Amino acid sequence: MTMKPDDNQDEVRVWRTQSGHDIAYRQITGAGPTVLWLGGFKSDMTGTKAQVLADMAVRAGFGFVRFDYFGHGATGGDWNAARIGLWRQDVLEVVDNLTKGPLVVVGSSMGGWMTTLLIKDRPERIKGAGFIAPAPDFTHALMLPNLNPEERHALTVSGAFVMTGYDQGVTMSQAFFDEAKDHLVFGAPLTFDGPVRILHGMKDDVVPWSHGVKLAEHISSGDVRLTLIKDGDHRLSGPEDLKLLTAMVQELIDA
């Protein structure tokens, strides 16, 4: 089935949440399960992987939804107010109000954490789950243990440090880490019976591929497949990586 999108499909729209902030999103309508894209930390819905899936949705005729979390992209908002729980609620706002029926959820990096939380919150909605360099619990499993002495000192003394590696420094507060404790997933069973597919680069210097293995072991489903890309980095946005992504999504749709 090939769908020709209406002129107003995939334009940026806004959903007003119950808490009063707006979520910017893009949506393509189609048949079958809707694919929900959950992006990474400090990324936005216009990234390469999200756009490839949007193009795929137009060609193949399935529904596709992507959005920007609070403090990200077109949604905007005061970064200092951003929390894991707020992003978790953003996901639920989108799922509950902008989608219907079964979902194939695809989470990239931090979006993988959001996917595991959605599995907990709306298990009946999820047909299949795809992960790209998944980073559940990254605050306590990956970020805090790897702070350099200067960052650790700043966090202890002033309650925040500035993380580099982005277009501009990102302020990370002790309040952010304290709140994140309420949303950790590796400390309790993660029950899910549907198909799970994980892509992880073995040259990922942000989220080690062992973290993807840990997630594969943690999910209860018997239908879990982990693909390790030996020369893959964290972004997994090269031509061959994108082919693996689209193949994974199609497999989850057809499962």
* Structural domains of the chain, ranges and CATH numbers in brackets: 13-137+186-254 (3.40.50.1820)
Tally Cβ neighbours within 10 Å of residue 64.
26
Q: Which of 19, 54, 48, 11 is nearest to 34 (CA)?
A: 54
Residue 5's pLDDT is what?
42
Instruction: Assess contact for 45 and 73: CB atoms under 8 A.
Output: yes
**What are the respective helix, strand and coil percentages of the chain, to the nearest 5?**
40, 25, 35
Q: What are phi and psi of 25, to 5 degrees?
A: -145, 165
Instruction: Assess contact for 132 and 108: CB atoms under 8 A.
Output: yes
One DSSP character per residue, 36-61 reads EEE--TT--TTSHHHHHHHHHHHHHT
Which tokens is 215 given?
């997630």
Q: Go through 37-52 and write b for each residue having 16 or more CB atoms within 10 A of its CB, e for each that does not.
A: bbbbbbbbbebebbbb
Return the SS3 of 106.
strand
Per-residue pLDDT of the chain (255 residues; tens, 9 = 90+): 333 444 458 899 999 998 899 999 999 999 999 999 999 999 999 999 999 999 999 999 999 999 999 999 999 999 999 999 999 999 999 999 999 999 999 999 999 999 999 999 999 999 999 999 999 999 999 999 999 999 999 999 999 999 988 888 999 999 999 999 999 999 999 999 999 999 999 999 999 999 999 999 999 999 999 999 999 999 999 999 999 999 999 999 999
Which tokens is 54 given?
């949007």
Sign of CA dihedral 52, 54, 56, 58: negative
Which residues have CB under 8 Å from 199's CB, separation 6+? 130, 131, 132, 133, 227, 229, 232, 236, 241, 244, 245, 248
In this structure, which amino acid lies at residue 215?
L
Residue 8's pLDDT is what?
57
Residue 195's pLDDT is what?
98
Residue 19's pLDDT is what?
84
Q: What are phi and psi of 205, to 5 degrees?
A: -100, 10
Residue 18's pLDDT is what?
86
